[in-house]
Amino acid sequence: MEVIAFYIFALLAIVTSLLVVGQRNPMHSVMLLIASFGALAGLYVLLDAPFTAVTQIIIYAGAIMVLFLFVVMLLNLPREEPAPPAIAGRARPAGLKIAAVLSLLLAAELVWALSRIGLGWFAQDPAAASVSSVTRIGSRLFAQDGYAFAFEATSILILVAMIGAVVLARKEH
Amino acid sequence: MTDYAAIIPIVIVALSGTAAMLAEAFRQPGERMPIAGLGLIGLAGAALASVFLWDSDARSFGVIRSDNFALFINLILCVIGVLTMLFSNEVVEREQLPAGEYYALTLYGICGMMMMAAADDLLIIFLALEVLSLSVYVLTGLRRASEASAEAAFKYFLLGSFSSAFFLYGVAFAFAISGSTRLDQIGVALSAQGAGTPPTLALLAVGLLAVGFAFKVSAVPFHMWTPDAYEGAPTIVTAFMSTGVKAAAFAAFVRVFLSPLEPLQAQWVPILSAVAGVTMILGTVVGVAQTNIKRMLAYSSIAHAGYLLIGLISNSPTNGAGKAAVLFYLLTYAVTNLGALGIVALLGTLQNQHDELRDFAGLWKSRPVLAGLMTVFLLSLGGLPPTAGFIAKWYIFTAAVQEGHYWLAIIGVLTSVVSVFFYLRIVVMMYMTEGTETPRPRVPATAMAGLALATAAVFYLGVLPTRILDLALASIATIF
Amino acid sequence: MGWLPPAPVVAHLGLIFVIFNMLVLSAAFMVWLERKVCAYIQDRVGPNRVGFEGVLQPFADVIKLMFKEQLRPKAADTLLFAIAPVISAAAAFAAFAVVPFGTETTLFGLLDEPIPLQITDVNVAVLVIFAITSMGVYGIVLAGWSSNSKYSLLGGLRSSAQMISYELAYGLALAAVIMLAGSLSLREIVMNQAGTWWGFIPKWYLFLQPAGFLIYMIAGVAETNRAPFDFPEAEQELVAGYHTEYSSMSFALFFLAEYVNMVTVSAVATSLYLGGWLGPFLPDWLAWVWFLVKVFLLLFFYVWMRWTLPRYRYDQLMEFGWKWLLPAAVINLLATAALVLWLE
């Protein structure tokens, strides 16, 4: 049962992610990205991490993507022009080559890393299941490890970013 | 229960930043408000708190450490902040910068700098780096009407983001070695590996962290943003960021590289030596060709980063001279450079920045006092006695010689000599050239007080350096 | 009967089926209730032709809608135009999945293990509701954008800006209850409200969180785009807002979503503040009746408010949301936190 759900979500995540890149219409890309985040959240649920899943939805699919959507919508980005057909004898754009090399590199790296650590590393750790508990996350985040300070420092960081955005973007009087 | 003592200076500055922001929010349009005063109160409070915390070695949350090293940097930052506030009052109004935001961002920037100096955890260092960087990026672009300002901010932001990513990558590798971002635990993990070739991960971590820091202190080859950012930013911001960012970044640089990464000294010393040499040479040689004062001081700032790097390199457990020299140099550079750029800022108007070399022609006639003070600061930057710059360089080069880095010391002395040439060019311009009769703006009393303070500091550090040097030596010992 | 899935699974599927249909029917009921109440408030009779007192009127409406032509503006984005109402409706239904509405039951001994009257009891239920609410924005934004009509776009922008703004206060009100209950599971939150003070005041969080309840309800009304915050339907300015260009069943889906959202907001309010299914007199297996009564009262309040209060102006709405409701929610949260710490 869980295996079937896993394959459904995994397939969904991969297909939607691929389609995000393939779309010419930026709105469709945004929606597919949201779907991809949703599928990821599904995978988190299967990993017994409902809190992570919900956070994924609230923050990524709910908050960040709404901003994306608004930007795309309000800028009214036009449909991307299809690339000019490759003329025989002329080189393909450099970006494409770099992207191809980088993705090959990434794939090779992944295979190498997986072969090094072996699949046994993914075996389920019974202790890991309890990490999903909100209480544990909360006490780790705020009571131990000094993350409380990092948390507060981040709030200053965000405040600075906000002031910056307002002061740079507002209309001159 | 956590001990909150160590974060008190940081919190005070953050609160004064918030107060500045709120003051602006409640300001009626057209109403004048002494927001700089709020900043001064906050900085004074932070300085006071730092003095009271001296020798306490308090820790908060396990990640913020107020050892004497951090407190010394705190005091340097308070000096920088106070001088900036004193100069700002008039300048902000004249250049029509948004006052509330300017002061809030400056204070938050100082807050981030203090955090960076006191952080005992790579994650916090990164956060602090971002806090100070973001505020400085925005401050750089604060002159909305100016294209140069926007360009400077954008360049600085893009390249800065890159360097932050490098730094973060370095943090990730450091975490991979030790399973922690705490500096002490990284140190333990690295020394546990013993002698011999260190693992690749450790080298990657060192390299990437060095790139991140080198960018922030504008060392070659990561200096490209410096001239543009310094020239495009409002001059007062240039003064603030050239001193503050450098102090904070060097504080973290020293703490990270001399404490947890110390076992890898054999690996990073040669690289940083090369960087230091190239930085000094490039900063000086290109600086000679500049005709814009801000740009010239930007290259001088690059060169100074090179001298500071010598101090960082010339260290051994038995020899404290280099370490103390870094702190002393930072303080010296702070008061000197702030004074010099402060004068440039005070002479600028909205229509005319007055930052070209020829704008300083005949300053001696129209503004003898300012010309005199400017001369003092420039001589100190060049490293001539009896100013602070001379003592600072003296100690740096002595440390280099003691540690056997002869060729670095030689390059340092040679570039210092060359740099005197371009500092003196300004002096010659001020005294010996007839100036055009451009109206010079009024310099308010607060700014004059600030300049007097900076001048006094330059002479005090230059003539009676021992007290401060001993203090620096005592404080840097606490990071180990 | 070996080919049948095990009894708990069947019972669960049955439960899902019942809840789904209950929601659809409640939407129909709400349409009728709304028209009736509106009529009485305006001193009219209201629908009274189809069925007893017009109770079958909504069904007649749906049948009419089904036979209408499905229109689509020429320049609309085909795919998104079709998906938008589905997203709206799906988000509205999905949130109900974690709402408990009764104690556990064995269905009169048919099951060995009792099943709870709830589709699923996740330990982060409150956050799930919050997450799904935030997804509801997409339906509206996309409907507005994909219609390629200025009224739709402006309506969609307004509604989504409104929902995003009020989501903050909504979430902070939820957080205060979570602090009191020490749990994110709605079932546990309800169970924590069992018992009474001095024998007659039920231990509902309503009495510990009066301000929180008020904030939640105001934000809830704004979240569901209902009067007095019903900008999508500000006819004078925006025709019909984001669903201007919709017709037939896709319009019906938006309509359905609106009413189901109201039911969900009321049901969650019942669980969080009004003690869910807990109540006196009734035996455990009938506890869900209390739940329905409480939800009904809240829904009636919704309708009552709509026909009593005039619509806000848009800038007033935003100002109220950001400058009053959000700070109030923050203060409420801080006060609650202080209270919880003090009581510990």
Task: Indicate the SS3 state at residue C202.
Answer: strand
| A75 and A2 housed in the same domain | yes
Q: Is residue A141 part of a domain?
A: yes
Q: Can you name the residues that pair with C104 across neighbouring β-strands?
A: C116
Q: Are strands C102-105 and B58-60 parallel, antiparallel or unpaired?
A: unpaired
CA C303/CA C27 separation, integer angstroms: 13
The band of C236, judged by pLDDT with boundaries at 50, 70 and 90, is: low
Task: Indicate the SS3 state at residue C116.
Answer: strand
Instruction: Give the pLDDT score at A25.
Output: 80
Instruction: Give the pLDDT score at A89.
Output: 53
Closest-CA distance of chain A to residue B429, Å: 37
Closest-CA distance of chain B to residue A145, Å: 7
The string of pLDDT tens digits covering residues A8-42 is: 999 999 999 989 888 778 888 888 898 999 999 99
Q: Is residue A157 part of a domain?
A: yes
CA B236/CA B231 separation, integer angstroms: 11
Instruction: Give the pLDDT score at B237.
Output: 92
Question: C124 vs A138, B7, C121, CA distance in Å?
Answer: 13, 34, 9
- Rg for chain A (alpha carbons), in Å? 21
Q: Which helix (H) or strand (E) holds C237?
A: helix C235-238
Neighbours of B22 (CB within 10 A): 13
Task: Indicate the SS3 state at residue A76.
Answer: coil
Q: Is the pLDDT of residue A90 over 60?
A: no
Structural domain containing residue A151: 133-173
Yes or no, beta carbons of A58 and C142 under 8 Å apart: no
Instruction: Give the pLDDT score at B360.
Output: 83
Q: Is residue A45 part of a domain?
A: yes
Last residue of a domain, one of A46, A79, A112: A79
Yes or no, beta carbons of C124 and A66 under 8 Å apart: no
Instruction: Give the pLDDT score at C134.
Output: 83
Q: Is the pLDDT of residue B241 over 60?
A: yes
Q: Which residue of B has its CA nearest to A161?
A: B134
CA B108/CA A157 separation, integer angstroms: 9
Question: C237 vs A65, B146, B354, C233, C241, CA distance in Å?
Answer: 28, 40, 54, 9, 9
The string of pLDDT tens digits covering residues B334-393 is: 999 999 999 988 888 777 777 788 888 888 888 888 889 999 999 999 888 888 999 999
Q: Residue B275 has which token pair?
A: 């960087």
Q: Is the pLDDT of residue C48 over 90?
A: no
Closest-CA distance of chain B to residue A140, Å: 13
CA B408/CA B278 separation, integer angstroms: 10
Instruction: Give the pLDDT score at C2.
Output: 56
Instruction: Give the pLDDT score at B194.
Output: 67
Yes or no, beta carbons of A73 and C141 under 8 Å apart: yes
Instruction: Give the pLDDT score at C1.
Output: 47
Yes or no, beta carbons of A145 and B62 under 8 Å apart: yes
B336-350, B415-429, C306-320: which range is least confident on average?
A: C306-320
Range B306-322 burial, b when 16+ CB lie within 10 A, else e: bbbbbbbbbbeeeebbb
Interfacial C residues in 113-172 facing A (CB < 8 Å):
122-124, 127-128, 130-132, 134-135, 137-138, 141-142, 145-146, 160, 164
Q: Residue B1 has which token pair?
A: 């229960």
Secondary structure (H, E, C), chain B: CCCCHHHHHHHHHHHHHHHHHHHHHCCCCCCCCCHHHHHHHHHHHHHHHHHHHCCCCEEECCCEEECHHHHHHHHHHHHHHHHHHHHHHHHHHHCCCCHHHHHHHHHHHHHHHHHHHHECEHHHHHHHHHHHHHHHHHHHCCCCCCHHHHHHHHHHHHHHHHHHHHHHHHHHHHHHHHCCCEHHHHHHHHHHCCCCCCCHHHHHHHHHHHHHHHHHCCCCCCCCHHHHHHHHCCHHHHHHHHHHHHHHHHHHHHHHHHCCCHHHHHHHHHHHHHHHHHHHHHHHHHHHCCCEHHHHHHHHHHHHHHHHHHHHHCCECCECHHHHHHHHHHHHHHHHHHHHHHHHHHHCCCCCCCCEHHHHCCHHHHCHHHHHHHHHHHHHHHCCCCCHHHHHHHHHHHHHHHCCCHHHHHHHHHHHHHHHHHHHHHHHHHHHCCCCCCCCCCCCHHHHHHHHHHHHHHHHHHHCCHHHHHHHHHHHHHHC
Q: Is residue A118 part of a domain?
A: no
Top mean pLDDT of A151-160, C125-134, C158-167, C197-206 is at: A151-160
Q: Can you name the residues that pair with B351 across neighbouring β-strands?
A: none
Instruction: Give the pLDDT score at A132.
Output: 54
The full DSSP string for A44-75 is HHHTT-HHHHHHIIIIIIIIIHHHHHHHHHHH
Q: Is residue C201 part of a domain?
A: yes
Q: Can you name the residues that pair with B232 across neighbouring β-strands?
A: none
Structural domain containing residue C121: 72-343
Q: Residue C105 has which token pair?
A: 């039951």
**Cβ neighbours of C131 in A, within 8 Å:** 54, 57-58, 61-62
Q: Residue A88 has which token pair?
A: 């025989």
Let me know: does B363 contact B427? Beta carbons within 8 Å.
Answer: no
Q: Is the pLDDT of residue B169 over 70?
A: yes
Share of chain C above pLDDT 70, in %: 93
Interface test with B, best of A112, A117, A142, A157 (most B CBs within 10 A): A157
**Predicted structure pTM score:** 0.86
Q: Is residue C65 part of a domain?
A: no
Let me know: does A129 contact A49? Beta carbons within 8 Å.
Answer: no
Task: Indicate the SS3 state at residue C42.
Answer: coil
- Give the residue, A86 or C11, on which the prediction is more confident: C11
Yes or no, beta carbons of A160 and B145 under 8 Å apart: no
The band of B154, judged by pLDDT with boundaries at 50, 70 and 90, is: very high
Mean confidence (pLDDT) of chain B: 88
Yes or no, beta carbons of C128 and A62 under 8 Å apart: no
| Sign, CA torsion C120/C121/C124/C129 | positive
Yes or no, beta carbons of B108 and A150 under 8 Å apart: no
Q: What is the amino acid identity at position A126?
A: P
Instruction: Give the pLDDT score at C69.
Output: 78
The string of pLDDT tens digits covering residues B246-277 is: 999 999 998 898 888 888 888 888 899 999 99
Instruction: Give the pLDDT score at B307.
Output: 92
**Phi, psi (5° rounding) for residue C102?**
-170, 175
CA C198/CA B196 separation, integer angstroms: 75
Q: Does C77 touch chain A (CB under 8 A)?
A: yes
The string of pLDDT tens digits covering residues B28-78 is: 877 777 888 889 999 999 999 999 988 888 888 888 888 888 999 999 999
The full DSSP string for C251-310 is HHHHHHHHHHHHHHHHHHHHHHHS-TT--SSS-GGGTHHHHHHHHHHHHHHHHHHHTTSP
Asked if chain B contacts chain C via 3 or more Cβ pairs within 8 Å, the reply is no
Closest-CA distance of chain A to residue C128, Å: 6
Q: Is the pLDDT of residue A126 over 70?
A: no
Interface test with C, best of A37, A46, A66 (most C CBs within 10 A): A66
Q: How many residue pairs bridge chain A and chain B with CB atoms within 8 Å of each other?
A: 68
> Measuring CA to CA, which residue among B326, B434, B332, B444 is closest to residue B379?
B332
Q: Is residue A101 part of a domain?
A: no
- Overall average pLDDT of the C227-234 stretch: 70
Q: Is residue A149 part of a domain?
A: yes
Q: Which long-range contacts (CB under 8 A, 24 or more apart) does C109-115 make?
A: C110/C7, C110/C11, C111/C7, C111/C8, C111/C11, C112/C7, C113/C8, C115/C8, C115/C11, C115/C12, C115/C15
Yes or no, beta carbons of C134 and A133 under 8 Å apart: no
Instruction: Give the pLDDT score at B1.
Output: 42
Closest-CA distance of chain B to residue A3, Å: 32
CA B261/CA B208 separation, integer angstroms: 13
Q: Is residue A144 part of a domain?
A: yes
The band of B177, judged by pLDDT with boundaries at 50, 70 and 90, is: confident
Yes or no, beta carbons of A66 and C134 under 8 Å apart: yes
Q: Can you name the residues that pair with C105 across neighbouring β-strands?
A: C115
Instruction: Give the pLDDT score at A124.
Output: 56
Q: Is residue A126 part of a domain?
A: no
The full DSSP string for C94-109 is HGGGG---EEEE-TTT
Question: A43 vs A5, A52, B232, C171, C297, CA distance in Å?
Answer: 8, 10, 49, 25, 39
Q: Does C87 touch chain A (CB under 8 A)?
A: no
Residue extents of the structural domains in chain B = 5-479
Instruction: Give the pLDDT score at A77.
Output: 62
CA B166/CA B154 separation, integer angstroms: 19
The band of B112, judged by pLDDT with boundaries at 50, 70 and 90, is: very high
Share of chain A above pLDDT 70, in %: 77
Range A142-166 burial, b when 16+ CB lie within 10 A, else e: eeebbbbbbebbeebbebbbebbee
Asked if chain B contacts chain A via 3 or more Cβ pairs within 8 Å, the reply is yes
Helix axes B235-258, B99-118, angle to 10 degrees: 10
Name the domain count of chain A: 2
Yes or no, beta carbons of A157 and B105 under 8 Å apart: no
B203-212, B435-444, C21-30, C234-243: which range is least confident on average?
A: C234-243
Name the domain count of chain C: 1
- Overall average pLDDT of the C275-295 stretch: 80
Name the residue facing A62 among C79, C134, C142 (closest C-beta). Answer: C134
The band of C56, judged by pLDDT with boundaries at 50, 70 and 90, is: confident
- Overall average pLDDT of the A68-80 stretch: 74
Mean confidence (pLDDT) of chain A: 80
> Measuring CA to CA, which residue among C252, C231, C217 is closest to residue C314?
C231
CA A113/CA A116 separation, integer angstroms: 5
Q: Is the pLDDT of residue B148 over 50?
A: yes
Closest-CA distance of chain C to residue A57, Å: 6
Q: Is residue C204 part of a domain?
A: yes
B146-160, B388-402, C68-82, C322-336: which range is least confident on average?
A: C68-82
The full DSSP string for C47-80 is --SSSGGGTTHHHHHHHHHHTS-----TTS-HHH
Yes or no, beta carbons of B131 and A157 under 8 Å apart: yes
User: Which residue shows structure tokens 């005592």?
Assistant: B474
